Amino acid sequence: MLRRIVAVAGLAAALVAGGSAARAEYPERPISYILHVSPGGATDVMARKLATAMEKILGVPLPVENKAGGRGAAQLADLKKSKPDGYTIASVTSTHIGAFNQTLKQYDVDSFDWIARLVNEPYLIVVRNDSKLKSMKDLVDAANAKPGSVVMAGFVRGSGGHFAWEIMAKSANLDSGKVRWVPFDSVGDAVTSVLGGHSEVAIAYVDLVKSHVAAGNLRVIGIMAEERVPQLPDAPTLIEQGYKADTSWQQMRGVIGPKGMPDAVKEKLAGAIKQALETPELKSYITESSLVPAFLGPKEFTENAKQQDVVTKQWMQTLSLER
């Protein structure tokens, strides 16, 4: 009888342990990856490449869903109502932090879990190849000569790209209000506007313009980076044109999740992301796109986001005082 009791107790313990181990096997089903941009933009392209690589690492599908509009309002609403179980993640960029301080004040950096930073990327100014603007000086002179005549396309006011333009304008002693800013749902849409002749200038990234530059349709008149990028060897930096714009301000791309995710789940996702970024396909994409590898795990990424929030608040205050 004693042996039977011990055997039953042992079986029960094994079942409990087995159940706990089963519950610890994350992930067991598809992970939804929600983007805040429309298809075709730089964030969309990289997210899909990342999802493909992570599927092989984690062994489950990562379907990507585009929830564009409202500077991330639709995307964040979906993310906010999702369970913090690791089965819903979302894209995040510097633009989100700007929105937290402007149009999406119902959120802040503490509203979500910051899983991993992927890369940083420098901003640039691009025009059509037939534009009369050949340099940053030409843009500044045109804006001063006839305020409002230069139309600049970009992702919404308060976005990372908008702040980049403010930094560029400040380095040129130009009142940025003399350039008419036109917002679009994605940077890709802004570039399309320039290609179509609807806007004269756009704030964009290397990956979105390099093929158009190679085809002779677009020309980059300035990059906010320390040195010229290999993919656009003929595109001058703002620094070499005499404009000391702060090159530390770059677009961040990362991954966030609902608030309250288990640390173990965040770490597993971050580990898979780091491993994916080191695959030949992602490394090649990052190099070809002139992105800057900048991986950060959950703890470091959270600290980084809070610091960027401080800088964003400072710029929001500055713009408020100047407008």
Identical topology for domains 30-121+251-322 and 124-241? yes
Report, as an integer, the average pLDDT of 59-79.
93
Q: How confident is the model at residue 61 (pLDDT cuts 50, 70, 90)?
A: very high
Per-residue model confidence as pLDDT tens digits over 107-131: 999 999 999 999 988 899 999 999 9
Match domain 30-121+251-322 to its CATH number in 3.40.190.150, 1.10.3720.10, 3.40.50.300, 3.30.710.10: 3.40.190.150
**What does DSSP say about strands 201-204 and 124-128: parallel, antiparallel, or unpaired?**
antiparallel
pLDDT at residue 14 in the model: 46
Report, as an integer, the average pLDDT of 242-261.
92
pLDDT at residue 320 in the model: 67
Strand residue runs (E) in the chain: 32-35, 64-66, 88-93, 112-121, 124-128, 150-155, 179-184, 201-204, 218-223, 251-258, 292-296
Per-residue model confidence as pLDDT tens digits over 124-159: 999 999 999 999 999 999 999 999 999 999 987 777
pLDDT at residue 246 in the model: 86
Report, as an integer, the average pLDDT of 170-197.
93
Amino acid code (one letter) for 283: K
Report, as an integer, the average pLDDT of 270-284.
97
Contact 71, 99 (CB under 8 A): yes
Between 23 and 297, name the one with better pLDDT. Answer: 297
The CATH code belonging to domain 124-241 is 3.40.190.10
Q: So where are the chain's domains?
A: 30-121+251-322, 124-241
**Cα–Cα–Cα angle for 323, 244, 246, rounded to 5 degrees:** 65
d(CA 233, CA 161) in angstroms, rounded, equals: 22
